[in-house]
Amino acid sequence: DTGVSQDPRHKITKRGQNVTFRCDPISEHNRLYWYRQTLGQGPEFLTYFQNEAQLEKSRLLSDRFSAERPKGSFSTLEIQRTEQGDSAMYLCASSSIRDRGRQETQYFGPGTRLLVL
């Protein structure tokens, strides 16, 4: 399977614990995005990387959230001191800017569903 993969697929944690999610983008995609989706809403942008550089962060990304993409391949999203409001699906997407002349298309992974008790 050469699509975007995410791990774990589900995570249940207690309030105050730290959690870390991993995303493996489509091979050679140089852009990687994190989104969060809550029930009944569309995904909301959190942050994005071009190669290893984090180029943009949403104001939704509080200081408890940190994302890395150290080698420009996989990425991790860490949430420290989780709160019940962090319960959501965390989606990763990747894209390539190499398809010049075409609209950049983002391909999504299956998501990590987080439940904070």
Partner 1 sequence: RKEVEQDPGPFNVPEGATVAFNCTYSNSASQSFFWYRQDCRKEPKLLMSVYSSGNEDGRFTAQLNRASQYISLLIRDSKLSDSATYLCVVNGGSARQLTFGSGTQLTVLP
> What gap in Å lies between CA 117 and CA 100, rounded to an integer?
45
Residue 107 interacting with partner 1 (CB under 8 A): yes
Handedness of CA 5, 8, 12, 16 (dihedral sign): negative
Does position 41 interact with partner 1 (CB under 8 A)? The reply is yes
Say whether residue 25 binds partner 1 (CB under 8 A). no
Q: Which stretch binds partner 1 (CB under 8 A): 15-23, 67-75, 80-88, 99-107?
A: 99-107
Distance of alpha carbon 67 from alpha carbon 74, whole angstroms: 11
Amino acid at 4: V
Q: Which residues are near partner 1 by CB under 8 A?
A: 31, 33, 35, 40-45, 48, 55-56, 58, 91, 93, 103-111, 113
